[in-house]
Amino acid sequence: MQWHKCHNKRSLPWKEEKDPYRIWVSEIILQQTRAEQGILYYNRFLSKFSTLQKLAKAPLKDVYLLWEGLGYYNRARNMHETAKAIMQAHQGIFPSDYETILSLKGVGPYTAAAISSFAFQLPYAVVDGNVYRVLSRFFGINTYTDSSEGKKIFSSLAQQCLDKSQPHIYNQAIMDLGATVCKPDQPLCKTCLLKPKCFAFKNKKTENLPVKSKKKTVKKRYFLFSIYLTDGKVAIEKRSGDDIWRNLFQFPMTEIKDAELFENLSTIIHNKLINKRKALQVTATSKQQLTHQVVYGKAIVYKATASDLKNKNYEWVTIEEIKNYPFPRLLHLLMKEELKTILKYKQRTSYNNGLD
């Protein structure tokens, strides 16, 4: 706290914030996002949904549009549902006790502690990656931080260390210390005020702490999209189910299970479709890294007529209208160059009966 008062220069738009709604928005954004990247989304989100009431009334599609690029879209969906639930169960007033905050959808112990301490000065310690790192190094704890035992140990220790008379100041101080001084790589140990008592510094263990269990195997997936063009419009569909990108939009898609087949698709498509004028082009492969999977995608651009796809449950939108629909980042990468090609075709033809 002394370091925080005298030396901490970290400036973030949500620091010193007392409004629980705005704190909640910042914490949800920061769950899987670096603070530097989160600033843009935080400001943009609040410019559109300045109050909980506005968020609750907004269509989910509009919320997703502002979330594009952040990933983990269930965060946005949970926020939207929670805002509506607060409107119904709490008359639009954000709850002010820890247990009720913790019961909100999408809110875990860390987020509940952050909102409770920063908005209401309640004595709950936050335990994020920065806090794990500071505590692990300072006390010399080598228990896996992502294990059940580790979570209990660090949560208990964080609560013991908390300054209960000023929890909001203490929580901000230890998080900022971890973010700017006790960093994952190349920590600034020489200038750290805690070094005289820090186990890791005294025992040259900073590179070994904290300890995480082995990473899970990353799954590879291969998506083939079809961009159907007719009458100046393209076909899109809404993703459903419990898979990635739920409720986002995409071009009609087929998942290819065979990696070798996917790699050879460009040649196959050229020989069987493009050379026979049944397709216009095939895109290069784009890639999106998710937490436990990597998704590779490419798209075939087809000329089509409405009658060709009359039994398909697609939504038809103009090229200009695409920006009004939330798409996964992978498709934005695919569309970057392909839309230029599509627009060229649009300028040359009225799309009557396809592109011939």
Out of 16, 17, 27, 36, pick the active-site residue.
27
The tokens describing 25, both together, are 């928005």
Whether 27 sits among the annotated catalytic residues: the reply is yes
Active site residues: 27
